[in-house]
């Protein structure tokens, strides 16, 4: 596809910023719509992507808020005419024992990881179905495949993302859309800075980002339904 429009949520840092950079560098004519709450960080990512050869525009947005998402989608559609590749990457992590997890914290983690993917996808999906073409990625986690202690909110959210992707894939089979759910293990990003886990035990964000690009580049006759990525040691 020439000059594809690629929307990346959570693009202000970490894996989202890495995805933006790899698509900017390797997809000729890429037009990036970078979405996150932090406009300053988004602008910095956009400048890097522009130097790599892409057109990059920023759309500050709280993707867990319905009104904010509606305004963002309208702005993206007005500027770009539609989205060809939708990457639902926005997320947040926090851990606590089940009995100590506050209701407000549970709601926040589910909203940012799961509700956001639903809100964003439902607004761009109809146009993709009309065009009979599009790629939709959901960022789940290994926490969306196997539960672990102190992960009540995060695991619930990521299991939800995995299920949401599966439902959409079942509903859009044969329409020309491809739906892929990505399950990374521990990946170095600013959110892990205070975790106590050494960066060398984690995957680099650039490797996870490249997996998205490689899946996108496959022939339209092939869909990668799910992909699991883990650090070499496999213990984080």
Which domains are assigned to the chain? 5-229 (3.40.50.720)
Mean pLDDT confidence for 151-159: 96
Instruction: Give the whole-angstrom CA distance, residue 187 versus residue 14.
Output: 9
Q: What local confidence, expressed as pLDDT, does residue 84 receive?
A: 98
pLDDT, position 1: 67
Q: What whole-number distance in Å separates Cα of residue 120 and Cα of residue 167?
A: 16
Out of 5-9, 110-114, 193-197, 220-224, least confident range? 193-197
pLDDT of residue 15 exceeding 90: yes
Asked whether the predicted pLDDT for residue 191 surpasses 80, the reply is no
148 labelled catalytic: no
Q: How far apart are CA 18 and CA 22, in angstroms?
A: 6
What's the whole-number mean pLDDT along residues 222-233? 94
Catalytic residue among 106, 118, 154, 159: 154
pTM of the model as a whole: 0.95
Burial bucket for residue 193 (CB in 10 Å: 0-12, 13-18, 19+): exposed
Identify the pLDDT of residue 19: 98
Percent residues over pLDDT 90 in the chain: 89
What is the share, in percent, of the chain residues with pLDDT greater than 70? 96
- Mean pLDDT in residue range 170-178: 97
Mean pLDDT on 179-208: 85
- Does position 97 have pLDDT exceeding 80, yes or no? yes
CB 205 within 8 A of CB 187: yes
Average pLDDT over residues 76-99: 95
Average pLDDT, the chain: 95
Across the range 16-37, mean pLDDT stands at: 98
How far apart CA 141 and CA 73 sit, in angstroms, is: 25
For residue 53, pLDDT beyond 70: yes
Is residue 236 very low, low, confident or very high in pLDDT (cuts 50, 70, 90)? low
Burial letters 164-180, b for 16+ CB under 10 A, else e: bbeebbeebeeeebbbb
Residue 87 in this model has a pLDDT that exceeds 70: yes
Residue 235 has pLDDT above 60, yes or no: no
- Whole-number pLDDT of residue 103: 98
Q: Which residues pair with 56 in a beta bridge?
A: 32
Tell me what pLDDT residue 190 has.
74
**pLDDT of the residue at 229:** 96
Q: How confident is the model at residue 49 (pLDDT cuts 50, 70, 90)?
A: very high
């Amino acid at each position: 596809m020439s000059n594809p429009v690629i929307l990346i949520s959570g693009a202000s840092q970490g894996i989202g910023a890495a995805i933006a950079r790899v698509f900017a560098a390797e997809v000729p004519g890429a037009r990036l719509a970078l979405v996150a709450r932090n406009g300053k960080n988004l602008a910095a990512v956009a400048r890097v992507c522009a130097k790599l050869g892409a057109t990059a525009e920023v759309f500050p947005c709280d993707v867990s808020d319905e009104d904010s998402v509606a305004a963002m989608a309208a702005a993206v559609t007005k500027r770009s005419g539609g989205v060809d590749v939708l990457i639902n990457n926005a997320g947040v992590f926090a851990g606590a024992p089940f009995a100590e997890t506050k209701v407000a914290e549970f709601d926040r983690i589910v909203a940012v990881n799961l509700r956001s993917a639903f809100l964003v996808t439902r607004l761009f999906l109809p146009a993709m179905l009309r065009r009979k073409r599009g790629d939709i990625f959901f960022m789940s986690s290994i926490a969306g495949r196997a539960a672990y202690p102190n992960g009540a909110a995060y695991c619930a959210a990521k299991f939800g993302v995995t299920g949401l992707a599966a439902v959409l894939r079942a509903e859009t089979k044969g329409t020309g859309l491809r739906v892929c759910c990505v399950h990374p293990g521990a990946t170095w990003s600013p959110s892990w800075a205070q975790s106590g886990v050494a960066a060398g035990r984690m995957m680099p964000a650039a490797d996870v980002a490249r997996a998205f690009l490689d899946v996108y580049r496959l022939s339209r006759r092939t869909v990668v339904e799910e992909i699991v990525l883990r650090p070499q040691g496999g213990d984080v």
